[in-house]
Amino acid sequence: MKEFFTLLSKIEKNQFSPFYLLAGTEGYFIDAITDALISRLVKEESKDFDCTYFYGKEIVPSDIIETAKRYPMISKYNVVIIKEAQFIRKELLDELISYLENPMPHSIVILNYKNKVFNKTRKFYKAALKIGEVLLVKPLYDNQIVPWVNNQANQLNLLIDPKAAVMLSEFIGADLSTLNNELIKLKLVVNDGEIITDEHIESHVGISKEFNNFEFQKAIGLGQFSKAFQIIQYFYRNPKNQPLTLTLSTLHNYFQKLLILKGLKNQSNVASVIGVNPYFINDYKAAASRLTMRQITIGLKHVLEADLKSKGIEGVNNDSKSILEELLLKLFTL
């Protein structure tokens, strides 16, 4: 993510390169850099003359090279954007190497290579790295999503409280494009200076502030069976909003963090060590105090077993309701 912000900063300072290879399995970063470049380089009056799009399945390398060698008519730069480059056959893509070895100073070529890992051993990669900017991206890890939400909210001049950020990231997951879209929607409904709370998330995103995976794990950790049971009843009635896979993944991460917390000798900077917002650390500490190391380990084992059942690998009764009810009973009889 550091490389993404470094490149974005260069673009905002009008520090451009003749070629951009934007590749990897997280499309949001690729789209964001492409949009930033277009915003800086392509004006309304010049877009029909000095901006050309090519699409992977249809490209002819000689057409791209010919277009890239063309002088701009109105703008300072002639912009060439190659979309869906992951569908270009290797031998065709390699035909562009001759251009990379002698790029035009008045042209900027942007290549989007989405949903695939770009092979760093290829000659094309080395040629792109030599003369331009290369950004290789991948999905964020689970512990990076909430910080990303907070940072993106800040970029949009939004204030969001910790619980709302957790609810949003938990519900949507690592789909950064959807997370960004939801933040943009929230920006339209909150007043300047107003903090986005769990009530905003419930009203405008559709996530219950009382019945969600965050509250579910908290109820389990604090031994609140009645509340946990109420929450799973809500899950049954709203399977699209709370799929079993998401619930089990959340519980797995929760018990892993409790395990780490339980084993820490140095209790300073605990929130950072286990990867949670300091706002929630007291809930984790309370759960870790209530449960022994053995109970946490067994709880993690039960969650893994439930995950195997949900995938049809273990057990005969694989419906979500039975799996979750059985798991809940096991977690409250550790």
User: What distance lies between CA 109 and its chain's CA centroid?
Assistant: 26
Alpha-carbon gap, residue 170 to 179, rounded angstroms: 10
Mean pLDDT along residues 170-197: 90
CB 186 within 8 A of CB 158: yes
User: 228-244: per-residue pLDDT in tens?
Assistant: 999 999 988 888 878 88
Domain with CATH 1.20.272.10 in the chain: 213-331
* Contacts with 288 (C-beta within 8 Å, 6 or more apart), sequence order: 258, 261, 262, 296
- In the numeric block, the tokens 């067994």 are attached to 298
Where does 2-137 sit in CATH, by number? 3.40.50.300
Report the topology of domain 142-204. Answer: Helicase, Ruva Protein; domain 3 (1.10.8)
Q: How far is CA 188 from CA 157, 162, 181, 240, in A?
A: 12, 20, 11, 25
User: 191-227: per-residue pLDDT in tens?
Assistant: 988 999 989 988 888 888 888 888 999 999 999 999 9
Q: What is the pTM of this model?
A: 0.76
Domain with CATH 1.10.8.60 in the chain: 142-204
User: 88-124: per-residue pLDDT in tens?
Assistant: 999 999 999 999 999 999 999 999 999 999 999 999 9
CATH 1.20.272.10, domain 213-331, yes or no: yes
